Amino acid sequence: MKAAVLIDAHNMVIDDVPMPVTGEGEVLLKVDSCGICGTDMEFYENGAYNPRWTLGHECSGMIVEVGPGVKGWKAGERVTVNDLFACGECGFCRRGLGNLCDRAANLGIHWPGAFAEFTKVPARSLFRLPEGVSMEEGALIPTIVVGYHVFRQAAARPDTKTLIIGAGPVGLSVLVALKIAGVRNVVVSDMNPTGKKAAASLGALAVIDPVAEDISERLESLFSSAPDLVFECAGKPATILQSMETVNRGGTVVMVGNCFEEISLIPITWIIKEINIKASQGTTNEDFETVLEWVAEKKLDAAVFITRTISLDELPETMAGLTHGKNDTKIIVKT
Ligand SMILES: [Zn+2]
Ligand SMILES: [Zn+2]
């Protein structure tokens, strides 16, 4: 079958690779669409855990084969996948915390991914796409579910003064979850024009450019105070420090953006304001069920996230181009 193969950092080719063979409890999917995620970019730039690796985890597709022991699924069903495969049996899984599973494995990271014609996944991580939902929208569901899991980390009320730092796919998904929950006062900060436009169309009260404007002054004039809830979705040392600086006394900061760099923080600034710090990791199957209900009830328009659709053949060149700049919210690869 055809697949995008990451030979090494910055070196991806389209190649012919062996078809996956389904084992106990697994199904084979004919991949239809797969979104490019920041995680894919991270591996593209630094190399995957294994050489000659296939990335891609935010996918939709059609079941073509069910492996031994799979019940309740059949060939021809349209699905999306919780790409964080939880074992379903460990202490965390039994408490409904599959995102923290002892034996968690991720599609496209520990399992060969979905930038390919076919991929295999555990049946317990599958979700049916509601009728009327396109495969492209199906591939966006895992991203929106990440945002919903982030949203669940803080108790936002309709009048909570909220700031989202970063209008990438995850920041925008947090905005979607907040708007569906009826939170009115959500301000988004980003300097990327594509992200700013999307945040405005998804119902942000205001969109701040943190380079051109003084963020604290703008927030003060919008809210008449500092925000009580800040979602840090940019993952840069400067924005993490900014989240701690901008949040109100007694407020909550939710750490979301993946930051691999050291930051220098003076803890007393955190203590003196009595800031609650939360974090968000991955997704659970229950999160998927909620977002799929929203999709079925047409509570969200996933299409606003898609800025480009490309073919699998165009992926290596597209990935190389992405290292130079970021003008896209979500690129969907049609396999
Ligand atoms: Zn992702
Ligand atoms: Zn587990």
Domain boundaries, the chain: 2-146+283-334, 154-279
Where does residue 272 rank: exposed (0-12), middle (13-18), buried (19+ CB within 10 A)?
exposed
Q: Give residue 148's pLDDT band: very low, low, confident or very high (50, 70, 90).
A: very high
Ligand 2 mean position to 322 CA, how many Å? 34
pLDDT tens for each residue of 169-210: 999 999 999 999 999 999 999 999 999 999 999 999 999 999
Q: Class for domain 2-146+283-334, per CATH? A: alpha beta
Please give the distance, rounded to the nearest whole angstrom, from the Cα atom of residue 262 to the centre of ligand 1.
23
Q: Are 130 and 292 a contacting pair, CB within 8 Å?
A: yes
The rounded Å distance from CA 94 to ligand 2 centre is 7
| Token code pair at residue 23 | 């084992």
| Global model pTM greater than 0.75 | yes
What sign for the dihedral angle of Cα 68, 118, 45, 38?
negative
Distance from Cα 264 to the centre of ligand 1, integer Å: 27
Virtual torsion, Cα 33, 36, 42, 45, nearest 10 deg: 90
Q: How much distance in Å is there from the Cα of 178 to the middle of ligand 1?
A: 20
The residue behind tokens 């909620």 is 290
Contact call for residues 59 and 71 (beta carbons, < 8 A): no
Q: Evaluate whether 87 touches 101 at the Cβ level (below 8 Å).
A: yes
Res. 144: pLDDT tops 90: yes
Tokens of residue 6, six digits: 């990451």
For domain 154-279, which CATH number applies: 3.40.50.2020, 2.40.440.10, 3.40.50.720, 3.40.50.1220?
3.40.50.720
Rounded average pLDDT over 249-271: 94
Residue pair 168/199 in contact (Cβ under 8 Å)? The answer is no
Which ligand lies nearest the alpha carbon of 258? Answer: 1
Q: What does the pLDDT read at residue 325?
A: 62
Q: Which residues does residue 155 pair with via DSSP β-bridges, in sequence order?
A: none
Residue partners of 209: CB distance under 8 A and separation at least 6? 189, 190, 191, 196
pLDDT of residue 302: 81
